[in-house]
Structure 1
Amino acid sequence: MTRSTKFLKQVAYHSREPMVELNQHGVIQNANRVAEQLFKLEKYGANSFSSLKLLGLEGKHFDWEYLINNLSLLPKIVTYSLGSNTTTYLFSLSADTDAHQNEPAYFLVLSPIVGNGNEVETYRVAEEKFYKVFHLSPDAISITRVADGLFIDVNEGFVQLTGYQREELIGNTVLNIGLWNVLPEREKLTNDLLNNGKSFMEASYRIKGGELAEGQINARIITINGEDCLISVVRDLRQQKAVERVLREREEQLKIINRATNDAVWDWNLTSDTLTWNGGMERIFGYKPEQIEPKIQWWEQHIHPEDQQRVMNRIRYFIEKKQEQWFDKYRFLRSDNSYAYVYDKGSILQDENHRVIRMIGGMVDITDRVLAEESLLIRNQQIAEYSFFNSHKVRAPLSRLLGLTHLLQEDLVSDNEQRSIIEKVRLAGEEIDEMIKEIAKIFY
Structure 2
Amino acid sequence: MLESISDGFFTLDGHGCFTFLNGQAEAYLDRSRKDLIGRNVWDAFPEARDKKFKVAVEAAVESGQSQHFTDYLDPPGRWFQSAVHPADNGGVTVYFRDVTSERAAETQLRLLEQAVSHLNDVVLITEAGPIEEKFAGPRVVYVNDAFVRMTGYEKADIIGRTPRILQGPDTSQAEVDRIRDALMRGESVRAELVNYTRLGDPFWVEMDIVPIGLDGDAHTHFVSVQRDITGRRAAQEAMRLGEERFQLMARATNDVVWDWDIERDALWWNSNLQALFGYAPELSQTPLSFWLHHLHPDDRERVHAGFFAALKGSDTIWRAEYRFQKADGRYAAVADRGFIIRDEAGRPTRAVGSMLDVTERRELEDNVRQSQKLEAVGQLTGGIAHDFNNLLTVILNNAEGLEEALSGEPALKDLASMTIQAAERGAELTSRCSRIWPPCPSW
- Shorter-chain TM-score above 0.5: yes
Query: 1:60-79 counterparts in 2 under 5 A?
Result: none
| Aligned-partner residue type, residue 199 of structure 2 | G
State which of 193, 210, 227 in structure 2 corresponds to 1:235.
227
| Aligned-partner residue type, residue 313 of structure 1 | A
Shift of 1:309: 1.1
Task: Name 2:126's counterpart in structure 1.
Answer: 144
CA distance in 1, matches of 2:249, 2:151: 40
Asked if 2 retains the 8 angstrom alpha-carbon contact of 1:322 and 1:348, the reply is no
CA distance in 1, matches of 2:214, 2:97: 17
State which of 273, 280, 298 in structure 2 corresponds to 1:306.
298
Task: Name 2:270's counterpart in structure 1.
Answer: 278
CA distance in 2, matches of 1:187, 1:374: 70
| Aligned-partner residue type, residue 81 of structure 1 | D
Asked if 1:163 is matched to 2:152, the reply is: yes
Task: Name 1:333's counterpart in structure 2.
Answer: 325
3-state SS of paired residue (1:201): strand
| Aligned-partner residue type, residue 369 of structure 2 | L
Shift of 1:113: 9.6
Shift of 1:301: 1.0
Asked if 2 retains the 8 angstrom alpha-carbon contact of 1:182 and 1:205, the reply is no
Deviations 1:26-48 (A, max 9, x none): xxxxxxxxxxx9x9999xxxx9x
Query: 1:205-284 counterparts in 2 under 5 A?
Result: 205-223=195-213, 228-284=220-276
CA distance in 2, matches of 1:182, 1:272: 36
Asked if 1:369 is matched to 2:358, the reply is: no
CA distance in 1, matches of 2:174, 2:379: 88
CA distance in 2, matches of 1:168, 1:83: 45
Query: 1:27-176 counterparts in 2 under 5 A?
Result: 80-81=70-71, 87-89=78-80, 119=101, 123=105, 126-127=108-109, 130-131=112-113, 133-147=115-129, 149-176=138-165
Shift of 1:131: 3.1
- Structure 1: runs of 5 or more not aligned: 1-14, 18-36, 54-79, 91-111, 413-431
Task: Name 1:436's counterpart in structure 2.
Answer: 439
Alpha carbons of 1:288 and 1:129: their partners in 2 closer, same or farther (altered >3 Å)? Answer: farther
Worse-matched range after superposition: 392-401 or 348-357: 392-401
Task: Name 2:345's counterpart in structure 1.
Answer: 353
Deviations 1:129-168 (A, max 9, x none): 6335522322111122233633322122222222223343
3-state SS of paired residue (2:290): helix
Asked if 2 retains the 8 angstrom alpha-carbon contact of 1:345 and 1:362, the reply is yes
Alpha carbons of 1:125 and 1:194: their partners in 2 closer, same or farther (altered >3 Å)? Answer: farther
Shift of 1:191: 3.1
Runs (4 or more) in structure 1 with deviation over 6 Å come to: 39-42, 82-86, 112-115, 403-408
3-state SS of paired residue (2:279): coil
Asked if 1 retains the 8 angstrom alpha-carbon contact of 2:335 and 2:358, the reply is yes
Task: Name 2:289's counterpart in structure 1.
Answer: 297
Asked if 1 retains the 8 angstrom alpha-carbon contact of 2:139 and 2:162, the reply is yes
Asked if 1 retains the 8 angstrom alpha-carbon contact of 2:322 and 2:334, the reply is yes
Shift of 1:361: 0.5
Deviations 1:395-426 (A, max 9, x none): 11213436788999xxx9xxxxxxxxxxxxxx
CA distance in 1, matches of 2:189, 2:236: 24
CA distance in 1, matches of 2:148, 2:108: 24
3-state SS of paired residue (1:196): coil
Shift of 1:393: 2.1
Alpha carbons of 1:208 and 1:310: their partners in 2 closer, same or farther (altered >3 Å)? Answer: same
Alpha carbons of 1:185 and 1:396: their partners in 2 closer, same or farther (altered >3 Å)? Answer: closer
Asked if 2 retains the 8 angstrom alpha-carbon contact of 1:274 and 1:294, the reply is yes
Alpha carbons of 1:178 and 1:248: their partners in 2 closer, same or farther (altered >3 Å)? Answer: closer
Asked if 1:193 is matched to 2:175, the reply is: no
| Aligned-partner residue type, residue 206 of structure 1 | Y
Alpha carbons of 1:402 and 1:357: their partners in 2 closer, same or farther (altered >3 Å)? Answer: farther
| Aligned-partner residue type, residue 153 of structure 1 | Y
3-state SS of paired residue (1:138): coil
CA distance in 1, matches of 2:118, 2:110: 11
Asked if 1:394 is matched to 2:383, the reply is: no
| Aligned-partner residue type, residue 369 of structure 1 | R
Alpha carbons of 1:324 and 1:52: their partners in 2 closer, same or farther (altered >3 Å)? Answer: farther
| Aligned-partner residue type, residue 79 of structure 2 | T
Deviations 1:223-257 (A, max 9, x none): 46899222111122222221222122122212221
Q: TM-score, normalised by structure 2?
A: 0.63
Alpha carbons of 1:169 and 1:402: their partners in 2 closer, same or farther (altered >3 Å)? Answer: farther
Worse-matched range after superposition: 292-301 or 80-89: 80-89
Alpha carbons of 1:322 and 1:439: their partners in 2 closer, same or farther (altered >3 Å)? Answer: farther
Q: Which entry has the higher C-alpha Rg, 1 or 2?
A: 2
Aligned residue pairs, count? 328
CA distance in 2, matches of 1:142, 1:170: 10
Alpha carbons of 1:359 and 1:185: their partners in 2 closer, same or farther (altered >3 Å)? Answer: closer
CA distance in 2, matches of 1:405, 1:272: 87
3-state SS of paired residue (1:354): coil
Q: Pairwise CA RMSD of aligned residues?
A: 4.1
CA distance in 2, matches of 1:125, 1:337: 77
Q: Kindly, what percent of the aligned residue pairs are identical? A: 23
CA distance in 2, matches of 1:314, 1:199: 53
Shift of 1:81: 2.6
